[in-house]
Amino acid sequence: MDFRLEFVNEQMCQLYFSISSKEMKEMLEDAIKAQSNQKDSKNSNKNFDNAVEKVKSLIEDDIIENKIDEYEIEVIGTKSTRYLMNFEIGRPMMGIVEMCILPDNLNFSLPTFIPDIFYESKIEKDNVKSFIDKLFLANNLFKYEDANQVSLDSIITYDLRFEKDNVVINEIKDQKFDCMNDDDLDLDLIEGKKVGSEVYIDVDDVYTILKITSIKDRVPIEENNENVAKLKFGSIKSYDSLFKKIESVLEFQKNVDVAMIFILEGIIASNQIEISDEVIRFFAKKLHEHDINDKDILKEIKRIVLFEYLVRVVELKTDDGDLSNETQKKINDMSKMLFLADGRKSNIMSRQFIIEETKRAKILEYCRDNDYISNIKL
């Protein structure tokens, strides 16, 4: 296996790699063998596709990562790996890994103080109440009530009518659709509609017409102490305790966001760091943004890049990288709250949010504990 590292500039580099046909054969055959030993492995095409994904993971997460460690470069954000050949047994592989790196001469100053006015905004009581409603709905603590129009929380009953040349050729009565969980209807066609509304859902040779006959919404059951206890949110057993806990978590999140935005905006406004066009294009591609001349898009990309710089700098300057017990407890409370809001399902977006929020908190703790910014609130 051969590697060649080339620097595009001080902020970005490319790692070219080639894997011999013998090495690829061994990796693919080992992965296929592992797949064939699993249950329900009768589909050979699926087995090969799964084997390819396993080999990609081996190449990207082990082989390339180890090589990057040898080069002693500090990668920021995610890498982009392109394979230049098809995966076939007995065929070699070539590829390119694009990655942004921490510049050696990175130097910038931080604001020393965050104006109190940015911390003054309060968490609205209605926002806390709305989140509690969400917790109840996500954990099946709800009832159904008649509604005036279709919303994301609705369950509708409808009839289908099939017409050709203005003649009804068939009808299907009393069908149900759960707007939250079902996907066999286009929600955009029925959202906001009322009982009695008719919607054309197919206008091919035969017209298919949907008529809404009833709309019911999920609404939380009474939010009292007894029902709060059913959420099993740690030791919280009362509505007042739940309200205060959620209010505290939202306040923590607000303070983290306020401080982080102020820091990043200050660095951008001071023009201390010039981010290369190549890095801008790299992150724009990751965000599926194409108009990098748009001021708002460009500013958002700069925020992301600078945030990744700060994350890496703090990682390099701290020994264990752990949060204080107090801040970690707040992160844990936030994680539990999001887990409940997802109906006790492990949601990848929620997990990613917690990871990013932890990174922000580590940056802010580092700035506070090293007296770079005097009034960080966490």
Task: Give tens-digit pLDDT for 58-86.
Answer: 999 999 999 999 998 999 988 999 999 99
Distance linking the first and last C-alpha atoms of the chain: 48
The CATH homologous superfamily to which domain 2-101 belongs is Trigger factor ribosome-binding domain (3.30.70.1050)
**Under 8 Å CB-to-CB from 157, ≥6 apart: which residues?**
174, 175, 176, 212, 213, 214
State the pLDDT at residue 32.
87
Domain ranges of the chain: 2-101, 116-136+225-369, 142-220
State the pLDDT at residue 50.
87
Poorest-pLDDT segment among 62-66, 100-104, 125-129, 178-182: 178-182
Integer CA distances (angstroms), 92 to 1, 52, 83, in order: 10, 14, 11
Integer CA distances (angstroms), 210 to 159, 162, 163, 184, 262, in order: 6, 9, 11, 13, 51
Say which residue the tokens 């929020």 belong to. 357
Integer CA distances (angstroms), 291 to 287, 298, 304, in order: 11, 8, 16
Taking Cα atoms as reference points, which of 271, 265, 248, 260 lies closest to residue 367? Answer: 260
Residue range 136-153: average pLDDT? 91
Using DSSP's 3-state secondary structure scheme, residue 331 falls into helix
* pLDDT at 42 exceeding the cut of 60: no
Report d(CA 107, CA 250) in Å as an integer.
33
* pLDDT at 345 exceeding the cut of 80: no
Integer CA distances (angstroms), 269 to 114, 181, 264, 360, in order: 15, 45, 9, 20
Report d(CA 44, CA 92) in Å as an integer.
22
* pLDDT at 181 exceeding the cut of 70: yes
Give, in words, the CATH class of 142-220: alpha beta
pTM of the model: 0.80
Contact assessment for residue 193 and residue 199, using Cβ atoms and an 8 Å cutoff: yes
The amino acid at residue 163 is E
Torsion angle of the four alpha carbons 54, 57, 62, 65, in this order, in degrees rounded to the nearest 10: 170
State the pLDDT at residue 23.
92
* pLDDT at 143 exceeding the cut of 80: yes
Contact assessment for residue 95 and residue 81, using Cβ atoms and an 8 Å cutoff: yes
Residue range 116-132: average pLDDT? 91
Report d(CA 144, CA 99) in Å as an integer.
51
* Average pLDDT taken over every residue of the chain: 89
With vertex at residue 77, the alpha carbon angle to CA 74 and CA 79, rounded to the nearest 5 degrees, is 85
Contact assessment for residue 255 and residue 182, using Cβ atoms and an 8 Å cutoff: no
| Half-sphere exposure for 35 (CA within 13 Å, toward CB) | 21
Poorest-pLDDT segment among 116-125, 151-160, 255-264, 285-294: 285-294
Poorest-pLDDT segment among 30-39, 73-82, 87-96, 255-264: 30-39
State the pLDDT at residue 105.
81
State the pLDDT at residue 316.
87
Residue range 213-232: average pLDDT? 93
* pLDDT at 233 exceeding the cut of 90: no
Q: How confident is the model at residue 153 (pLDDT cuts 50, 70, 90)?
A: confident
Residue range 123-134: average pLDDT? 93
* pLDDT at 204 exceeding the cut of 60: yes
Beta strands 75-83 and 2-9, pairing class? unpaired
